Amino acid sequence: MHDVYIRNMEIADYDLVIDLWKSTEGIGLSEADSKENIRFFLERNHGFSLVALKGNKLVGAVLAGHDGRRGYLHHLAVRREHRKEGLGRRLADGCLEKLKLAGIDKCHIFVFRENSVGKEFWSKIGWLIRGDLHIMSKHI
């Protein structure tokens, strides 16, 4: 995996990133993932989100940021042919290091209950499923 280059995500990556997210099982997209909303997220959370490139091909991406108290990772995805090579862990760890440098000491992720592949990945790299919380949402 040494021939994979990881760098900060830029809005210019949007079309490739959204194609990756759309083709990755377990990732749910919504209007919140429009180009303008992602642009705003990247500006507000500058330098936390990452992409992975092999040559000029995008092979992984993760959206990351914080609210001043807690960090959040969204939509971590690795192309199927590059899984099991440690790339997902490298992307997650890279974001966590950036969050830690920003003074954030805890990070959350959201994984669909039916996403067994995602839950297995996150558990394998040390994340714990919390049974004491429920996520509640409201459209405003």
- Provide the CATH number for the domain around residue 51: 3.40.630.30
Tokens of 116: 């067994």
Does the residue 107 lie in any domain? Answer: yes
Does the residue 41 lie in any domain? Answer: yes
Q: How confident is the model at residue 2 (pLDDT cuts 50, 70, 90)?
A: low
Does the residue 132 lie in any domain? Answer: no
Mind listing the pLDDT tens digit for each residue in 53-83? 999 999 999 999 999 999 999 999 999 999 9
Does the residue 100 lie in any domain? Answer: yes
Average pLDDT of the chain?
95
Record the pTM: 0.93
Asked if residue 64 lies in contact with residue 48, where contact means CB atoms within 8 angstroms, the answer is yes
Does the residue 139 lie in any domain? Answer: no
**Domain carrying residue 40:** 4-124
State the pLDDT at residue 139.
86
**Domains identified in the chain, total number:** 1
Does the residue 70 lie in any domain? Answer: yes
